[in-house]
Amino acid sequence: MNKLLTILSDGEYHSGEELGKFLGISRTAIWKQIQKIDALGLAVESQKGCGYRIAGGLDLLVQELIRNQLSATAQELLVNLDLESSVTSTNELARRQAENGDASGLVVFAEQQTCGRGRRGRQWVSPYGCNLYLSLVWGFEGGVQAIEGLSLAVGVAVLRGLKRWGVEGVELKWPNDLLWQKRKVGGILLEVIGDPSGFCQVVIGIGINVGMPDKYSQSIDQGWANLNHLLVGNVGRSDIGGSIVDEVLLLLGNYHEEGFSGCREEWLEHDAYVDSPVKLLMMNKSMKGIARGVDESGGLKLEVDGEIQIFSGGEISLRGVA
């Protein structure tokens, strides 16, 4: 099916006969594969006398194009670049590898996630071939202390990657959402495996809405936006994915030395809610206050009744208050 998808990715009509000859299979076998492509949510049009096409074409991920964006340092840090077609969740795949041993330097991309995971147990809507879903694994000596502020720092690294393509106006929402005009363009999910006081591995999952079709709107339970209209020039998903991997690997390679302090200023410059009224949603309570940026460890500074309180932890979510 992947070969057929690659042919149809040009958006042109291809007859069943031509496809059958090219792939060395019968027209019935082609038709069966077309059904599978349809089942991925990709609308294949069929026209008598013309054949099949995917209107508008597809921008499929390409290893070489991703690698082209990697600096020499990132190429050294990258151990394995895995491109998958359909997975439950790239975080789950990466996590399984990390549970089997040191998987530091592994990067997994997928065209589709059938059980994409978001923060706080939410679903991450992940249709085929239109957005970016990737996970990186990195090992840290020194346990959870060594990764303080990492989820915020990854947000900064992703922003750096996007800026290479002329993207402006994307902001960060604590702890690590990427927003455009207060609508979600991307999210980051960190999972830690191993010894919380010794060697641990972090699975860093990144999802970016690049060209999410409108038909998925009703499945997304918050305001969202696509990146594609913010890109300058003809930029593909592999280019964007590659620049994100580059920036995240560079960040990870230095994190044991620099920590969050190397990114804090940049994070504050892109803070979507600085000095704004916000509400923090916690496990079983919520709290209102004014957001006042983040401290040296990446904790949120919330002003409540004139006093600054610091909040940290993956299970807290921030909302703007109108």
Catalytic site positions: 119, 184, 319
91 lines the binding site for ligand BTN (CB under 6 A): yes
Among 149, 187, 242, 298, which residue sits at the site for ligand BTN (rule: CB under 6 A)? Answer: 187
Q: Which is nearer to ligand BTN, 235 or 244 (CB)?
A: 244
Q: Which is nearer to ligand BTN, 59 or 84 (CB)?
A: 84
Separation CA 178–CA 222 (nearest Å): 13
Minimal CA–CA distance to 32: which of 54, 16, 14?
Answer: 16
74 lines the binding site for ligand BTN (CB under 6 A): no
SS3 312: coil
Buried b / exposed e across 141-160, counting CB within 10 Å, b at 16+?
eeeeebbbbbbbbbbbbbbb
Stretch that binds ligand BTN, among 76-84, 152-160, 186-194, 272-280 (CB under 6 A): 186-194
Minimal CA–CA distance to 153: which of 71, 224, 254?
Answer: 254
| Amino acid type, 159 | L
- x/- string (CB under 6 A) for ligand BTN, residues 31-70? ----------------------------------------
161 lines the binding site for ligand BTN (CB under 6 A): no
Among 189, 210, 230, 250, which residue sits at the site for ligand BTN (rule: CB under 6 A)? Answer: 189
The encoded tokens of residue 71 equal: 């600096």
SS3 198: coil
113 lines the binding site for ligand BTN (CB under 6 A): yes
Judged on CB neighbours under 10 Å (0-12, 13-18, 19+), 211 is middle
Among 30, 98, 124, 180, which residue sits at the site for ligand BTN (rule: CB under 6 A)? Answer: 124
Among 133, 138, 174, 255, which residue sits at the site for ligand BTN (rule: CB under 6 A)? Answer: 133
Q: Taking the complex as a whole, how short is the minimal distance between the CB of residue 26 and ligand BTN, in angstroms? A: 37
Q: Taking the complex as a whole, how short is the minimal distance between the CB of residue 115 and ligand BTN, in angstroms? A: 7
- Widest CA span of the chain, in angstroms? 74
Q: How many CA atoms lie within 13 A of 132 on its CB side?
A: 29
122 lines the binding site for ligand BTN (CB under 6 A): yes
Q: Taking the complex as a whole, how short is the minimal distance between the CB of residue 206 and ligand BTN, in angstroms? A: 6
Q: Taking the complex as a whole, how short is the minimal distance between the CB of residue 33 and ligand BTN, in angstroms? A: 27
Helix H or strand E segment including 172? strand 170-173
Q: Taking the complex as a whole, how short is the minimal distance between the CB of residue 263 and ligand BTN, in angstroms? A: 18
Q: What angle do CA 248, 281, 90 make, to 5 degrees?
A: 35
SS3 211: coil
Separation CA 242–CA 1 (nearest Å): 25
- x/- string (CB under 6 A) for ligand BTN, residues 195-214? ----------xxx-------
Across-strand partners of 54?
44
241 lines the binding site for ligand BTN (CB under 6 A): no
Binding region for ligand BTN (CB under 6 A): 89-91, 113, 116-119, 122, 124, 133-135, 177, 187-189, 205-207
